[in-house]
C-alpha cells in the first residue's frame, strides 16, 4: 500500500476505547443475535468476548458467502505434489459437503459441546471435518496426523471425544504413514473410548475397519440429511488445540467462538492485506495453530481462497516447489515458517528457481513460528521483490501479537523485529520483579490483561494450570514465555524463549542475538545456539551450524570465522568460543528447533523424545556431534 501507515491511529483508537473499537470490528460478522457488549470481565482473569451473542462459525466461513453470490468462487485448492493431483472445491461444493457430514454426525448423536478428535493429513476432508463440527456446535480437537499412539491416547483421555474422524494414511516424501494402526493403538491404550470412528480411505494405503466401531467416510454419510447451522453463544468453545506442556501432559488451549471469528476476520484484511476473492496460502499443517487459523478459518471467513498443500518446501520435487504453487494458483500472500525459507535458500542460494516462475500476482510473504533472522529476510526480499514481514504469535493467542500490518500500510521494516503490537495487545518487557524495562532492556515479554478476542480463554479442564502457567508470575499480565526487548519507537525484538536466555558469568544473554550473528556468515544456511553448563561461568554458549549446499571450505575455518563473528557483533562478554558443523538440526513438525532438548543432551541430563519431532534420528546425530566436542563434560 502507498502512503503513510494507518497503524498509529488504529492502535490509538483501540487504546482510547477498547470496548467501542471491538464492537465496531464485530459488525463484520453475521450474528444470529448481536452481543450486548464486547468484554465480559465478571470472571476475571477468565475474560470473555461477545459472550452473550449468538453466532455460528460455519455460517460465517461458508454459507454466508454462498448466500452473497460467491457460490462459484473457489474456496479450497488442494495442491498435492505427493499424489500429483490438484483439486478444487467451490464455496457451494464446500457448503454441501460440510452440511452432509454434519448431518451424519448429528444423526449419530453428536451435538453442541460434544468433542470430536480429527486425526487427518492435508486433505480437504480435514477442513470439512472442522467446519462440520462448527456447524452443529461440536468442539473439535485436531491432532497432527501421524502423531504417535501414546500422544494421541493422552489427548483422547483429556478431551473425551464421542467420535474420531481419521484417514487411513498420510504421505511423506518416499513413504506412506499409516494412521489407522496408530489410531487403533491409541484407542486401546486410552481409558476413554469413542462411540465411533469415521475413516477416510486413501488410495496410497487403505485400512482395515473395526466392525461395530469404524465407518467408511463415504458410507457413513449416505442418506444423511444436511444439517443446518446451529447458533451457539459467543463464549462457546470452537475447538481445543493441544500444545506441549513442561510436565509432559499436553495443554489443551480453548478457543471461544465469537472472538475467534472477529479477530481472524480483522487480521486478514488489516494484517495480511488481502481482500475477498484473493488466494491466500499458509504453508503449514491443519494440525498446528497456523493451520487452524490461516488454512481453515480466517481465509474462509474473509471470503478468500485457501491453498491446502501436501508437500514440502524442498524435495517435492525441488527448491522451486513454493514458486510453482504461487504461480499456478495466483497466490497473493504466502505465510510460512522461516525454517522453510532457510531450507529453500540452502538448496538454491542464488534463487535460480524463483526466476523460472511467473510471480506477478504475488504481493507479500509473512514469516512466523521461529524467529526470522535478518539474513533470511534479506535473501527473500532480494529474490522476491515483495515485502517480507516477520510477525509473532503463539498457539495460545491464535493470531498475531505483533506484526507489520500490511493492510494498514507498511511501516518501515526493521530486520530482526516483528514490528509493533496489534490492537488488543498491550505488550510490556518486564524484569524478573515484574517492573517495565526501558528501551533496549532484555526481559520477559508479557501482555497486560485482558488478552484480546481470538486468544485462549483457559486450558481445557485446567483453570488452575492456566493461572499457574500464564498468569501467576506477573499479576495482571499474561506471560508469553518469550524474552526480548523493544526499541524507542516501540518495535519489539523477540530474541529467545525465556528458557533460552542464558546466564554467562552473571550476564543475561540472548541466544537469538548470537544466532543472528552466525546466520550472517555466507556459508551458514541455518544455525542454533544453546547454553551448556560450565563450572566456572554457569553457562556458556555453543553453536550448531548447517552449511549451504555446495560449501566446500574446511569446517574448522568456518567455525573459527563464526566465533569471530559472534565476538565482533555481541562482544567478548558472550564468551562464544565453540561451534560444531552438523548436517541438520532437530525440529518439530511445525519447524521449531529443539534447543532445550539439545541443551539437555549436551549437559548429560535426562531427556525424552519430543512427541512433535520431525525425525527422531537427528537427535542421535546431534548427540554424536556433541560427544566429539566432549559433551557432556565429565
Backbone angles phi, psi at 234, to 5 degrees: -60, -30
Report, as ranges of residue numbers, the positions in the chain whose pLDDT lies below 70: 1-2, 245-248, 498-500, 505-508, 634
- Note the pLDDT tens digit of each residue in 458-510: 999 999 999 999 999 999 999 999 999 999 999 999 987 766 677 776 566 77
pLDDT at 500 (0 to 100): 67
For the chain, what percent of residues have pLDDT higher than 90? 82
The DSSP symbol for 126 reads H
Report H helices in 6-123. 7-16, 18-26, 57-58, 64-65, 91-107
Rounded-to-integer distance, Cα 374 and Cα 406, Å = 19
Q: How many CB atoms lie within 10 A of CB 364?
A: 20
pLDDT at 508 (0 to 100): 63
Grid cell 510473504 — which residue? 365
Which residue, 86, 506, 63, 123, is CA-closest to 295? 123
Q: What number does CATH give the domain 7-311+391-484?
A: 3.40.50.12780
CA distances to 120, 182, 258, 353, 491 from 199, in Å: 9, 13, 30, 39, 47
Rounded-to-integer distance, Cα 64 and Cα 61, Å = 7
pLDDT at 1 (0 to 100): 41
Domain ranges, ordered by start, for the chain = 7-311+391-484, 505-628
Strand-pairing partners, residue 306, are 76, 280
For the chain, what percent of residues have pLDDT higher than 70? 97
CA distances to 281, 332, 359, 615 from 285, in Å: 11, 19, 23, 16
Residues 6+ apart with CB under 8 A from 175: none
pLDDT at 550 (0 to 100): 82
Q: Provide the mean pLDDT of the chain.
A: 94
Rounded-to-integer distance, Cα 586 and Cα 617, Å = 9
Which residue, 618, 634, 471, is CA-closest to 546? 618
Predicted structure pTM score: 0.87
- 505-628, superfamily in CATH? ANL, C-terminal domain (3.30.300.30)
pLDDT at 588 (0 to 100): 83
Grid cell 533470511 — which residue? 376
Strand-pairing partners, residue 539, are 533
pLDDT at 98 (0 to 100): 98
Amino acid at each position: 500500500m502507498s502512503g503513510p501507515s494507518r497503524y498509529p491511529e488504529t492502535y490509538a483508537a483501540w487504546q482510547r476505547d477498547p470496548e467501542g473499537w471491538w464492537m465496531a470490528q464485530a459488525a463484520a460478522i453475521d450474528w444470529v443475535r448481536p452481543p450486548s457488549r464486547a468484554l465480559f470481565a465478571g470472571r476475571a482473569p477468565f475474560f470473555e468476548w461477545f459472550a452473550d451473542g449468538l453466532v455460528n462459525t460455519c455460517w460465517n466461513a461458508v454459507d454466508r458467502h454462498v448466500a452473497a453470490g460467491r457460490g462459484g468462487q473457489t474456496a479450497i485448492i488442494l495442491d498435492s505434489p505427493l499424489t500429483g493431483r490438484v483439486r478444487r472445491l467451490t464455496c457451494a461444493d464446500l457448503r454441501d459437503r460440510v452440511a452432509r457430514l454434519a448431518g451424519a454426525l448429528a444423526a449419530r448423536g453428536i451435538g453442541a459441546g460434544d468433542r470430536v478428535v480429527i486425526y487427518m493429513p492435508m486433505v480437504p476432508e480435514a477442513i470439512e471435518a472442522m467446519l462440520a463440527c462448527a456447524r452443529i456446535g461440536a468442539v473439535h480437537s485436531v491432532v497432527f496426523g501421524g502423531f504417535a499412539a501414546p500422544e494421541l491416547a493422552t489427548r483422547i483421555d483429556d478431551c473425551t471425544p464421542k467420535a474420531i474422524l481419521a484417514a487411513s494414511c498420510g504421505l511423506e516424501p518416499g513413504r506412506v504413514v499409516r494412521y489407522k494402526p496408530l489410531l487403533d493403538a491409541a484407542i486401546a491404550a486410552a481409558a476413554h473410548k469413542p462411540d465411533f470412528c469415521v475413516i477416510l480411505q486413501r488410495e496410497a494405503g487403505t485400512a482395515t475397519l473395526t466392525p461395530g466401531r469404524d465407518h467408511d467416510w463415504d458410507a457413513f454419510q449416505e442418506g444423511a440429511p444436511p444439517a443446518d447451522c446451529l447458533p451457539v453463544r459467543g463464549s462457546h468453545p470452537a475447538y481445543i488445540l493441544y500444545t506441549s506442556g513442561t510436565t509432559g501432559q499436553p495443554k489443551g488451549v480453548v478457543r471461544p467462538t465469537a472472538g475467534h471469528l472477529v479477530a481472524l476476520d480483522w487480521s486478514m484484511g488489516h494484517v495480511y492485506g488481502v481482500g475477498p476473492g484473493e488466494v491466500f496460502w499458509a504453508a503449514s499443517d491443519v494440525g498446528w495453530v497456523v493451520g487452524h487459523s490461516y488454512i481453515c478459518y480466517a481465509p474462509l471467513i474473509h471470503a478468500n481462497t485457501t491453498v491446502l498443500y501436501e508437500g514440502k518446501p524442498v524435495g517435492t520435487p525441488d527448491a522451486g516447489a513454493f514458486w510453482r504453487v504461487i504461480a499456478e494458483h495466483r497466490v497473493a500472500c504466502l505465510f510460512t515458517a522461516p525454517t522453510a525459507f532457510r531450507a529453500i535458500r540452502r538448496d538454491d542460494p542464488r534463487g535460480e528457481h524463483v526466476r523460472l516462475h511467473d510471480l506477478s500476482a504475488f504481493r507479500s510473504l509473512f514469516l512466523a513460528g521461529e524467529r526470522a533472522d535478518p539474513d533470511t529476510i534479506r535473501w527473500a526480499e532480494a529474490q522476491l521483490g515483495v515485502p517480507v514481514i516477520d510477525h509473532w504469535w503463539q498457539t495460545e493467542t491464535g493470531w498475531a501479537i505483533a506484526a507489520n500490518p500490511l493492510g494498514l500500510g507498511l511501516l518501515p521494516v526493521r530486520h530482526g523485529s516483528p514490528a509493533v503490537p496489534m490492537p488488543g495487545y498491550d505488550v510490556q518487557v518486564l524484569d524478573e520483579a515484574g517492573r517495565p524495562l526501558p528501551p533496549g532492556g532484555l526481559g520477559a515479554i508479557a501482555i497486560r490483561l485482558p488478552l484480546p478476542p481470538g486468544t485462549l480463554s483457559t486450558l481445557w479442564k485446567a483453570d488452575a494450570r492456566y493461572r499457574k502457567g500464564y498468569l501467576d508470575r506477573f499479576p495482571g499480565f499474561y506471560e508469553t514465555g518469550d524474552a526480548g526487548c523493544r526499541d524507542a519507537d516501540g518495535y519489539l525484538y523477540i530474541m529467545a524463549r525465556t528458557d533460552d536466555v542464558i546466564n554467562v558469568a552473571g550476564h543475561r544473554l540472548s541466544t537469538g542475538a548470537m544466532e543472528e550473528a552466525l546466520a550472517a556468515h555466507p556459508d551458514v544456511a541455518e544455525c542454533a545456539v544453546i547454553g551448556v553448563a560450565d563450572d566456572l561461568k554457569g553457562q556458556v554458549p555453543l553453536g550448531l551450524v548447517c552449511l549451504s549446499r555446495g560449501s566446500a571450505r574446511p569446517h574448522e575455518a568456518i567455525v573459527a570465522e563464526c566465533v569471530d563473528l559472534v565476538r565482533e557483533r555481541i562482544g567478548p562478554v558472550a564468551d562464544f568460543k565453540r561451534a560444531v558443523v552438523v548436517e541438520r538440526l532437530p525440529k518439530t513438525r511445525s519447524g521449531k528447533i529443539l534447543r532445550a532438548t539439545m541443551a539437555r543432551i549436551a549437559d548429560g541430563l535426562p531427556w525424552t523424545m519430543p512427541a512433535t519431532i520431525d525425525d527422531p534420528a537427528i537427535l542421535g546425530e546431534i548427540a554424536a556431534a556433541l560427544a566429539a566436542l566432549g559433551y557432556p563434560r565429565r
